[in-house]
A and B are shown apart, each in its own frame.
Chain A
């Protein structure tokens, strides 16, 4: 029975190797310190135990050199620990550019996972081995935490914002997925625990096998395609269209660019900005445009937002779909002003990749 008791977690990602190395270093240093202190206390306890009731002791009040030594010496050791720990943390905060993207939405009490190809999973994540995977996570309700002990990765999933983390699995296998931030009644069941009869949790596959798995999953088009449909459903196309009558900026090549705002500042169009602009359009208005966009808060849920984001990210120059004339504008969409559409001033370009001249 005891042979089956795990005492150390599986080491299945590049981060895990780095974390474990630091862990062993800490164990060594702290273990040495513990033994040193315990040894000294025990040694003194035996050597100087009270032999006579009226025993006298020498009056020793301290030693400043010794004091300063043990005040300052730990700082050097601590500095090593700090730098080492910070370097791992920093690298986990910066996903490599070639990372495969996966979107995760947490809700009481399940993990909803979407692959860029449109494949969906619950409490399970299939990924290929030796491939960096970037997770973009958000929550529909309370704070959750996406935790994969075998990868030594953990990140709080906070409602109302996107957080990111990444890992690169190094070993084919099936691993635990936990919610680590208490989230209510079934917190302990917001997990993916692989077992003999259940293929749950984090499932790392060979690349070829993963490709086959992707193909075998029924998906109604890629995430970007689904986003494209939503782009029509929510009537975004009505204003964000490619024709010259557009009432809103064209979104081609927008992702990752610096956008000039009406208030004279600039903002990088990242996930958080796109999300905010859909939910709170008036918060950051692009220079040269009027704040006429209605909010889509309450209309698009977290998963739909991720799809729209995937679509906007996928938009290359010239790919804005043709406006569907049959579709009516949304109910609370602003009417076209009588004086014609508010047109961008000539000096303000719509988003175009920098390589091209306007």
Chain B
């Protein structure tokens, strides 16, 4: 009971109530997150419906190879995250630490690829303001005649806002994971106090799911060819 006492916050009656509250709080937070992404998805949808061909043309230029690799990386990280939660619940400290570190590694890999992709985009003149070249797009043929560079740029803006927001969430998640590793090494994540892992896990899976929506919306909208598969 003494361990329970240290874990239980002063304002809760018992551990069960505390766990229930913490999980519920995280779900509520995720509801907020759904709405913040929902708002930008809605704007994207509005313009995508209005300018379908320009959006397709822009999408076709995005790096689908990195996008695909990142999808695999991120989904794997969800697996290792789920394993961490399991390890914390059953009290397997070594497995917990390993899985958390693996998740961090995979998250870092994702962000690394993302950074590489942004750099490639910059070199391919796909970054509005910094390197975007409207002249290049006047010659591009869409499904119904030449595309409008401004609308292509609009699509690219959404690409950066959406993936940027997602990347910010990834960075926050990485920070939380590093904190969990520190806690785990101090032996403070026990079967009695596994909630932090559980809650960070919920968050991590959510960020994953957002990516699952981003991939088709941004990358798979346009037609890609096998020759596009390069870094």
Contacts and interface: CB of A to CB of B under 8 A. Distances in A.
Contact of B148 (A262, A263, A282): A282
B148 A283 contact: yes
Chain B contact residues: helix, strand, loop or mixed: loop
A285 B145 CA distance: 8
A280 B145 contact: no
B144 A280 contact: no
A285 B148 contact: no
B223 to A, nearest CB: 17
A295 to B, nearest CB: 9
Contacts of A285: 144-145
Nearest to A261: B144
A282 B142 CA distance: 10
Contacts of A291: 145-146
A155 B143 CA distance: 37
Contacts of A280: 148
Interface residues of A, number: 7
Interface string A279-308: 010110100000100000000000000000
| Residue picked from A263, A282, A285, A291, most chain B C-beta under 10 Å | A282
A155 B209 CA distance: 43
Contacts of B144: 262-263, 282, 285
Most chain A CB within 10 A, of B145, B146, B147, is at B145
A263 B143 CA distance: 9
A1 B69 CA distance: 79
A269 B144 CA distance: 19
A126 B145 CA distance: 45
Contacts of A283: 148
Interface string A255-284: 000000011000000000000000010110
B225 to A, nearest CB: 23
Interface string B135-163: 00000000111111000000000000000
A280 B149 CA distance: 11
A296 B148 CA distance: 13
B46 to A, nearest CB: 15
Contacts of A262: 144-145
Contacts of A263: 143-144
Interface in B106-121: none
Interface in A287-332: 291
A280 B144 CA distance: 13
A282 B147 CA distance: 7
Contacts of B143: 263
A234 to B, nearest CB: 20
A291 B139 CA distance: 12
B56 to A, nearest CB: 13
A283 B50 CA distance: 10
Nearest to A295: B148
A263 B147 CA distance: 14
Nearest to A265: B144
A285 B146 CA distance: 11
A263 B53 CA distance: 12
Nearest to B147: A282
A280 B50 CA distance: 13
Given A263-B143, A263-B144, A282-B148, 4 more contacts: A262-B144, A282-B145, A285-B144, A291-B146
The 3 closest A-B pairs by CB, nearest first: A291-B145, A282-B145, A263-B144
15 contacts: A262-B144, A262-B145, A263-B143, A263-B144, A280-B148, A282-B144, A282-B145, A282-B146, A282-B147, A282-B148, A283-B148, A285-B144, A285-B145, A291-B145, A291-B146
